[in-house]
Structures are given as C-alpha cells and as structure tokens.
Amino acid sequence: MTTDKLISEIRKKNSFLCVGLDVDLDKIPNFLLEEEDPIFSFNKAIIDATHNYAVAFKPNTAFYEAYGIKGWKSLEKTINYLNQTYPEIFTIADAKRGDIGNTSSRYAKAFFEDLGFDSVTVAPYMGRDSVEPFLEFNNKHTILLALTSNEGAYDFQTKKIEGETVYTQVLKTSKNWKNSENLMYVIGATKAEHLAEVRKIVPNSFLLVPGVGAQGGSLTEVCKYGMTPDISLLVNSSRGIIYASNQLNFAEAAAEEAKNIQLQMKAILDGIR
Amino acid sequence: MTTDKLISEIRKKNSFLCVGLDVDLDKIPNFLLEEEDPIFSFNKAIIDATHNYAVAFKPNTAFYEAYGIKGWKSLEKTINYLNQTYPEIFTIADAKRGDIGNTSSRYAKAFFEDLGFDSVTVAPYMGRDSVEPFLEFNNKHTILLALTSNEGAYDFQTKKIEGETVYTQVLKTSKNWKNSENLMYVIGATKAEHLAEVRKIVPNSFLLVPGVGAQGGSLTEVCKYGMTPDISLLVNSSRGIIYASNQLNFAEAAAEEAKNIQLQMKAILDGIR
C-alpha cells in the first residue's frame, strides 16, 4: 500500500487506529477453543467487527510462533483474510526482526512477498545493512523501533551518545539510508513528551504508537505532539480492544471499544480541520 | 544443557566449533531438490557428517521462515533430529528476537520448550524487560547481541554513551539483570581487537563468535583475546562449511572443512595446556 492510500483511508474513516492481534488462547472466549482454528476464528470475528473503526491490523508474530506450525497457519490465514476481504486495510507484521544483510533479505521476502504484509517492524541495533534489505521493496514499509513503550526503553534507547539519545541517533542515522522514504518509526505513547523532539527530526514520517490504553499512554498527548498535516500517526491498541470481553459478545464488545477510540480520534481530527 | 556439560563436550572433542545451518535452496546440491524435504535432507547429511568436529549447531530462523510453513516444519525436524540423535550437541536458535515482556515470554516458550533449543539469540535494544523473560528458564541460555560482525555494527553499537560504547553498556547493564548467569553474548570475529575489552567486563561468559571464515575474522586472534581457562567460546562458521561443495560429495566436503577448523582449534587448545 502506498503512503498516500493510507492517508486517504485515515481521512475517509476518521480513524488512525491500529488493532493489535496479540492472540492468547488463555484469554479468548472458551467456546472458541472447540473450533478447528480458534486463533483464526477469533481474529476473523474481531476483524469483521472492528474494521470500520480501524485503518490497520497488527498481528504480533510471537503469539503465533508460540503455537508452532499451527500458529503460523493461523497467521497465514489471518493475513490472507485481511488481504482478500479488506484490501483497504494496512497490515503490519509486528516481528521486530533484524539480522545481517542476506538474512534480512530472507525476512523481508517472507513478510512482504510470501505473506503479503504491507509493513514489518524491524530492530535497529545491527545498523544499516540489517535494515536496507527491507527498504528495497516498493510500497512496502519498514517500521523501525526507535523509542518503545516498555520500561526497558530507558536501559539503552534514552541513553546519550555525544549529547544525543540513542533513539534520536537511530532516527537521524536511518534518514540517510537508501530508500529511507519507506521508513516509519515505533514511538511509544508512554513517552509522549518525546514526540515533539521526534517530529523535529522526522517531521513527515508515519509513527506507529503503541502504549495507548492498557499501557497508560494518552491519545490527546500523542496527537498534540505527534500529529502532522497528513496525520502520519497509527495508534495501536491491542488488549484493550480484543479482550474487551471473553463472553459470547466478545466481538461486539471489541467493536464498542474500537468505536470509542475512533470517536475520540474523529473529535481530534475535527478539531484541527 | 548446563554450561559445565558444554565445557566438557568442548574438552572431549577438542572443538568449540558451531556450524551455522543457514540453508538456502539456491545453494544446496540440485539433486536434493527432488527429496520430500530438501532442507531437512541437507541438514541431516551435514549434521551426520560434521557432528564429530562440532559442539554446536545454529539454524538461523530467517532461512526457514522464508519458506513459510514448510520451512518451519524443516526447522522442527532439524531440531528434533539433533535432540534425538546427538543430545550432546548444544543447539542455538539464531532468531534475534526481542519484544516487550509478555511477548518475549511467548518467544522464550516457543524456542526453549516447544522446539527444545538449548539457547536463542536475542536483541538488546528494548532493554531489561524484553530479555529477562528468556533468562527465567533453567539450563537454557540467552545469547545477547552485543557487537555483531556486520558493517552496520558501527552505526550504533560502537557509538559512545558517556565515554563508553553502546555494546560495552549492553554487557555491563545486562550483568545486573535477574538470572544473568544464563547470558552469553554475540561478539563478531571481524572485530577481534574488541575482545580484550569484552573480557574485562564479562571474564567468564560464553561468547558466540560469528564472522570467522567467509566474513574474514581470524580464529587465532579470537582465541588470543577471547579465550578463558574454561575456553568459553563458540566460534561459528556457516557458509564456509555447509556450502564447501554443491556436488554429490557435499557432506564429505563439509566434513573436511569442519575437520580443518577443528584441527586448528585442537592446536590452539594443545598450545595452552
């Protein structure tokens, strides 16, 4: 998907919500466990119920890998379902990959071509030649971890290299990589005060913002510091939406949660128009 | 596997060689493509031919993921074969994972429990709470990326935080994490001169050293700066061994290469006894 198409979907839906599909068999409604593929059944119901309020869906691959080959089949069915039924949805493989050149090419091929995701999250630690193989794909997006929403972000990401934090160095350095127009960045909502600084370095890049909701980040703060004239934000919510209920009405409850966030987003978008 | 058992295997075999199973269908002998599972057939032949000269095998998961569910089946068959046929072999899932707490727990379970690997490589960028879930497993080892063998290592890893490089900060910080006795570190052979500095910080930790051979690192240099009284080194070679030949004799050629390296290792070990 092109960036322009993503922006136009955001405007059309008045939403920049990304729904995280972090599916845990211990948390989904019990009655689904009798289905042939409970993970896919759960995802399909959640996607069908929430797609009107969201522009993106983001399965975290760890949750699928944890179930071995069965899990990978569920992931494959989920992305195929999204691509076939809702081609206007932006899809993110939250895989946090990163390896040396020829190996990163393998990962890029797996996620972009074989599975058909629009984007994949990538870790920056190994530097340019671990990321550039992802950037070679046209209209595919590489979402680089910059400042994450967890406590451990303070271990290295906010430490200073020659007066500048590691994560701002990641932003600055990566801007010079080949095909850097295909980069987006992960910036956690729990650190919204950093967003103003981020925007000085990458004024136009899309930011994927986890940590609103369950992790405590504020949507208003994120928009205040992170939004651009093209919006350029994807705000993720996972548990708050998909586990809103574990009863028969789980999909309706998820839709209700997603709609609540979408309405907040619409209010913010109306406010800046 | 316990660290003591690994050390005793190294002494018994006079080898600290790790064989990287980075299997690429474009590079394996053509005649194997007719097999039902060419990747597993290739791995099995390589493992059978080289296990006397190596103490560890390391599949890089990217190469398997690139082939989708078929690839994951090949990985599963490979680790099962290793665990059943050669339980004395130390196994490494070169996955370079790392995510927030509950997600890292998922990865740890997948690699340690479900697949049964002895160890997994993990990226440090997200800090303590992304790594500690891996450290909770008894007699399982978390191999943290510190200084990698690729060019991109100079982008962030060797940059200085308050006078100290990022990778030495990773070493120092991670020593204070819970169950840090289960940590090993990746230190690239292409930067052997850094090993003396590494040993000042982690004098006894096992180091997994890629980059000898194809990438140009020197075994003698690595041992000079990195070896401890308990050896505490695993030196990896992938392409140099597994693609020594793509003819009918590919397994024998791989064995010959592995034996050459093992003999160099024996000479070094004899020299320090």
Whether residue B89 lies inside any domain: the answer is: yes
Confidence of residue A31 (pLDDT cuts 50, 70, 90): very high
Q: Does A133 touch chain B (CB under 8 A)?
A: no
Measured CA to CA, the distance from residue A4 to residue A255 in angstroms comes to 26
**What's the average model confidence in pLDDT over A4-16?**
98
Pair of tokens at residue B185 = 């570190």
Residue B4, number of CB atoms within 10 A of its CB: 10
A148: nearest CA partner in chain B: B126
pLDDT at B7 over 90: yes
Residue B168, number of CB atoms within 10 A of its CB: 22
pLDDT at A214 over 90: no
Q: Which of B174, B134, B96, B64 is nearest to A126 (CA)?
A: B96
> In this predicted structure, what is the pLDDT of residue A273?
67
Query: Is there a contact between B127 and A154 if contact means CB atoms under 8 Å apart?
Result: yes
Whether residue B267 lies inside any domain: the answer is: no
Query: Is there a contact between A104 and B62 if contact means CB atoms under 8 Å apart?
Result: yes
Whether residue B41 lies inside any domain: the answer is: no
Give the SS3 label for residue A4.
helix
pLDDT in tens, A86-112: 999 999 999 999 998 888 998 999 999
> In this predicted structure, what is the pLDDT of residue A189?
84
Q: Does A161 touch chain B (CB under 8 A)?
A: yes
Q: Which of B90, B63, B74 is nearest to B41 (CA)?
A: B74
pLDDT at A175 over 90: yes
Give the DSSP letter of residue B40: H
Give the SS3 label for residue A141.
strand
CA dihedral sign of residues B68, B71, B77, B78: negative
Query: Is there a contact between B69 and A62 if contact means CB atoms under 8 Å apart?
Result: no
pLDDT at A130 over 70: yes
Q: Which residues on chain B are in Cβ contact (under 8 Å) with A173?
A: 155-156
Query: Is there a contact between B127 and A65 if contact means CB atoms under 8 Å apart?
Result: no
CA dihedral sign of residues B128, A96, A1, A15: negative
pLDDT at A126 over 90: yes
Q: Which of A141, A235, A220 is nearest to A187 (CA)?
A: A235
CA distances from A105 to A128, B87, B150 (A): 13, 32, 14
> In this predicted structure, what is the pLDDT of residue B100?
87
**What's the average model confidence in pLDDT over B139-157?**
95
> In this predicted structure, what is the pLDDT of residue B211?
83
> In this predicted structure, what is the pLDDT of residue B121?
98
CB-based contact B145:B167 (threshold 8 Å): no
Residue of B27, B39, B122, B156 to mutate, interface with A, max A Cβ within 10 Å: B156
Measured CA to CA, the distance from residue A58 to residue A90 in angstroms comes to 9
> In this predicted structure, what is the pLDDT of residue B176?
97
Whether residue B271 lies inside any domain: the answer is: no
**What's the average model confidence in pLDDT over A122-128?**
97
pLDDT in tens, B186-231: 999 887 789 999 999 999 999 999 988 767 778 999 999 999 999 9
> In this predicted structure, what is the pLDDT of residue B79?
98
Q: Does A9 touch chain B (CB under 8 A)?
A: no
Confidence of residue A4 (pLDDT cuts 50, 70, 90): very high
pLDDT at B23 over 70: yes
Q: Which of A73, A128, A52, A130 is nearest to A96 (CA)?
A: A130
pLDDT at B161 over 90: no
CB-based contact A17:A269 (threshold 8 Å): no
CA distances from A155 to A191, B104, B116 (A): 14, 17, 30
Residue of A155, A165, A166 to mutate, interface with B, max B Cβ within 10 Å: A155
Chain A and chain B share a number of CB contacts under 8 A equal to: 174
Pair of tokens at residue A50 = 């929430």
Whether residue B99 lies inside any domain: the answer is: yes
Inter-axis angle of helices A166-174 and A128-135, nearest 10: 50
Q: Does B104 touch chain A (CB under 8 A)?
A: yes
What are the E-state strand segments in chain A?
17-21, 56-59, 90-97, 119-122, 141-147, 160-161, 164-165, 183-187, 207-209, 233-237
B150: nearest CA partner in chain A: A100
b/e per residue, A211-230, with b = 16+ CB within 10 A? bbbebebebebbbebbbeee
ipTM: 0.93
Measured CA to CA, the distance from residue A158 to residue A146 in angstroms comes to 10
Q: What is the CATH number of the domain that holds B187?
A: 3.20.20.70
Whether residue B261 lies inside any domain: the answer is: no
- Number of domains observed in the structure of chain A: 1
Q: With 0-12 CB in 10 A as exposed, 13-18 as middle and 19+ as buried, what is A37?
A: middle
Query: Is there a contact between A150 and B107 if contact means CB atoms under 8 Å apart?
Result: no
Whether residue B31 lies inside any domain: the answer is: no
Q: Does A98 touch chain B (CB under 8 A)?
A: yes
> In this predicted structure, what is the pLDDT of residue A102?
84
CB-based contact B142:B120 (threshold 8 Å): yes
Give the SS3 label for residue A57.
strand
One-character DSSP codes across B186-246: EE-GGGGGGHHHHHHHSSS--EEE--BSTT-B-HHHHHHHH-BTTB-EEEEESHHHHTS--
Enumerate the β-bridge partners of residue B120: B93, B142
Whether residue B178 lies inside any domain: the answer is: yes
Full domain range(s) for residue B87: 3-23+48-244
pLDDT in tens, B47-85: 999 999 999 999 999 999 888 899 999 999 999 999 999
Q: Does A238 touch chain B (CB under 8 A)?
A: no
**What's the average model confidence in pLDDT over A145-164?**
91
Q: What share of chain A is helix, strand, coil (3-state, %, to 5)?
A: 50, 20, 30
Active site residues of A: 96
